Amino acid sequence: MLLFLLFIQLFFSNSIKANEEIKLDSIINYANSFKNDTDKINAYFKYDDYIYRYSPKLDSALNRLIVFLCDSNLKKSQLSDKEKNNFYNQKARSFNNLGLYFKNLANIDSAIHYFDKCLEIYEEIDNKFKIATTYTNICNTYLITDDYENALKYIYKSREINIESNNKKGLISVKFHKVVP
């Protein structure tokens, strides 16, 4: 019986109810149980995909919170290079998520704004794989409005980086993309 109760507690403490009533406060409380911001951010990202499926607006708030935590930590002078790189990557990931959120709302200007912010960070830390992925996301955003000129511009940028970095998975993605002949 005790083992069953422990299992139930563990199961419910590590999952989110699959409905629209997910509360950001409960996730914040879970994340705040961790002492450092890196673990808090990782806890937020643990639930990020689930939250997006059931409440994209709530997920948008969560990603803004992650950006805030990253910015707060990046102001600290005692961070190691590894810690800085981690916070930059997490911040860029949140900007990407915000770009996807606005893309799915067909709010092209806001989507491009967040993808550009994401791209700036990935370029600064020289993450070629993520730069190519972000270019593909920008391409997909322009496709929503049938802006094929910009879509092609960004998918070709993605393809070029994938060729340079020998990223076969990225190349396959670009090869079978709707706008590339």
How many domains does the structure of the chain reveal? 1
Q: Does 92 have pLDDT greater than 70? A: yes
Q: Which of left, alpha, beta for 146 (phi over 0: left; psi -120 to 50: alpha)?
A: left
Whether 59 is covered by a domain: the verdict is: yes
- pLDDT tens figures, 141-166: 999 999 999 999 999 999 898 888 77
Look up the domain containing 43 and give its range: 2-126
Q: Does 85 have pLDDT greater than 50? A: yes
Whether 27 is covered by a domain: the verdict is: yes
Whether 16 is covered by a domain: the verdict is: yes
Whether 109 is covered by a domain: the verdict is: yes
Whether 137 is covered by a domain: the verdict is: no
Whether 141 is covered by a domain: the verdict is: no
Among 116, 179, 111, smallest CA distance to 150 is for 179
Among 73, 72, 66, 126, smallest CA distance to 101 is for 66
